[in-house]
Amino acid sequence: MLETNPFSVLSEIIPVIVMQGFIIAMVLLIACGTIIQMIHHKNLIYFFNNAKKAKLQATREVGAVEKVKILAKTTVYDIGTTSELGFGKRRLAHVLGMYGTIIFWISSAILVFCYTGADKSNSSLWSILWHIGAILTCIGGFWFWFFLRVDVSAEAHPWYRIIKADLFVLALLACSTFGLIWSYTQFNGQMGLSFLFFALFVVSNLVLFGGVYWSKFAHMFYKPGAAIQKNLAEADGSRDNLPPPADAPEQFGLGIKREEPKHY
């Protein structure tokens, strides 16, 4: 199953151009939803004003080479490893979900555009990556949903309590889960179930990419920008209008050793 391209089998029923058009439409939905959210919530204005304020409060000039180093470090370490979560289960779950999702999305596009159609060859590598990406997303996402959410693990709310902020993670998990089940049922020739789970896969994608305005999807773009701005502010001395760190050693008392931090 892992080496089978589910979109190739699907092309016998649905034209490849329709599948490619669907992916393009999802990309446009991301762009439109993010832009509308930025305009409505005024995120771009906030970042622009914050950058202007930081420039006025800067105590030193950051050179081009230093800026490149800060951008590289922020991208590779802070963003690429979600370092703000510290070392622990929460960070591992986010990394699994993040890289699983990236692999799942990229391999979906490559399979549909490059390896689906009557005149196209199959790619075992990209088919395996598609399944692995979906599996990693499910592992990280379900681990987070059932055990690591703040309102579940710290505030004693039931795991099935759903609020609007949960739209992103639930739609993402639905896409990966229904995609895997669709691939499995299709591989085993269960056409009725295969069609059902493919339909659910399509609907969950529409909810995920069409619900950008209402979900936390756009945070994937805001958080890298905020991390870069924070590191640049520390480098030029503006520090986002925060006081400099104290020279005295940190004193928390023995009470901090009683319970391990959960990095919320």
At 223-238, the pLDDT tens digits run 777 788 888 777 777 7
The one-letter amino acid code at 223 reads K
Helix (H) or strand (E) holding 170: helix 167-187
State pTM to two decimals.
0.81
The one-letter amino acid code at 196 reads L
Q: What is the CATH number of domain 6-235?
A: 1.20.950
C-beta neighbour count of 143 within 10 angstroms: 17
Q: Out of 103-107, 173-177, 198-202, 217-221, which region has the weakest mean confidence (pLDDT)? A: 217-221
What span, in angstroms and rounded, lies between the C-alpha atoms of 48 and 27?
25
Q: Out of 110-124, 186-200, 246-260, which region has the weakest mean confidence (pLDDT)? A: 246-260
- Among 172, 162, 178, smallest CA distance to 142 is for 172
At 143-191, the pLDDT tens digits run 888 887 776 666 667 777 778 778 889 999 999 999 999 999 998 888 8
pLDDT at 8 (0 to 100): 87
CB-CB contact of 78 with 84 (8 Å): yes
Which structure tokens are listed for 38? 């930025």
**Rg, C-alpha atoms of the chain:** 22
The one-letter amino acid code at 71 reads L
- What is the rounded average pLDDT of the residues 37-60? 75
Residue 56 binned pLDDT confidence (cut-offs 50, 70, 90): confident
